[in-house]
């Protein structure tokens, strides 16, 4: 197994710090975009709670492995992929508390921001994706595009029957 050079480790850290999302491929399922923070040498994320990002279906288990891909913030293209070791932090532990403090600052629009740590301890998993020894992935030869995951959320619906009349009435009111 090839070990990463100091330049490789610096690339991984800098790319992960600057990107709000990472793509994570666990031992199961398709890669998924997840928000994270870079904390003490690892990508740290929270999920699996009812109001947090879903981690189920990825096969992210304590002591398991994953592949993490970071995209460029400005162009959106892949910068670097690396092998990671999955570490699940124990709620209330020193490492968990430090990680949660970092994650709280990046969690946008939390409905219970003042009690979020309590909810995460009760309902969620906090994971560290630590860069493992091994070579960084080679650049892809194709786009790596994949079909979106199935979801009940939709953005297109039929136009309501009364909408054209409302829009026409608005145009007449502006002209008059």
Tell me, yes or no, whether 142 lies in a domain. Answer: yes
Report the domain count for the chain: 1
Query: Residue 69: beta bridge partners?
Result: 23, 81
Q: Is residue 139 domain-resident?
A: yes
CATH at 133: 2.30.110.10
**Is the predicted pLDDT of residue 116 greater than 90, yes or no?**
yes
Rg of the chain on CA atoms, in Å: 21
Report pLDDT digits (tens) over 14-66. 999 998 899 999 999 888 999 999 999 999 999 998 889 999 999 999 999 99
Domain with 10, as residue range(s), is 6-147
Name residue 126's beta-bridge partners: 46
- The pLDDT assigned to 140 comes to 61
The span from the CA of 94 to the CA of 170, in Å, is 60
Cα separations in angstroms, 156 against 96, 148, 162 = 41, 16, 17
Instruction: Please classify residue 45 by burial: count the beta carbons closer than 10 Å to its beta carbon, then call 0-12 exposed, 13-18 middle and 19+ buried.
Output: buried
Express each pLDDT in 34-45 by its tens digit: 999 999 999 999
Which H or E element spans position 117? helix 116-123
pTM of the model: 0.77
Percent of the chain past pLDDT 90, that is, above it, reads 50
Q: Is residue 176 part of a domain?
A: no
pLDDT per residue as tens digits for the range 105-115:
888 888 888 89
In a domain? residue 171: no
Q: Is residue 93 part of a domain?
A: yes
Cα(172)–Cα(120) distance, integer angstroms: 53
Tokens of 73: 């913030």
Average pLDDT, integer, range 147-165? 79
The reply to whether 156 falls in a domain is no
Classify residue 155: in a domain, yes or no: no
The region, left, alpha or beta by phi > 0 then psi within -120 to 50, assigned to residue 92 is: left
């Amino acid at each position: 197994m090839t070990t990463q050079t100091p330049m490789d480790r610096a690339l991984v850290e800098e790319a992960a710090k600057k990107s709000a999302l990472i793509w994570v491929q666990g031992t199961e399922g398709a890669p998924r975009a997840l928000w994270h923070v870079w904390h003490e040498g690892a990508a740290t994320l929270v999920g699996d709670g009812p109001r947090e990002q879903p981690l189920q279906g990825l096969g992210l288990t304590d002591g398991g492995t994953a592949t993490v891909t970071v995209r460029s913030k400005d162009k959106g293209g892949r910068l670097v992929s690396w092998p990671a070791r999955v570490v699940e932090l124990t709620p209330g532990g020193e490492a968990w508390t430090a990680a949660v403090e970092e994650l709280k600052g990046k969690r946008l629009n939390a409905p219970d921001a003042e009690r979020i740590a309590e909810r995460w301890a009760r309902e969620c998993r906090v994971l560290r994706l630590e860069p493992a020894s091994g070579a960084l992935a080679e650049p892809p030869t194709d786009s790596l595009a994949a079909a979106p995951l199935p979801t009940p959320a939709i953005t297109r619906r039929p136009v309501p029957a009364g909408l054209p009349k409302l829009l026409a009435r608005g145009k007449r009111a502006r002209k008059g």
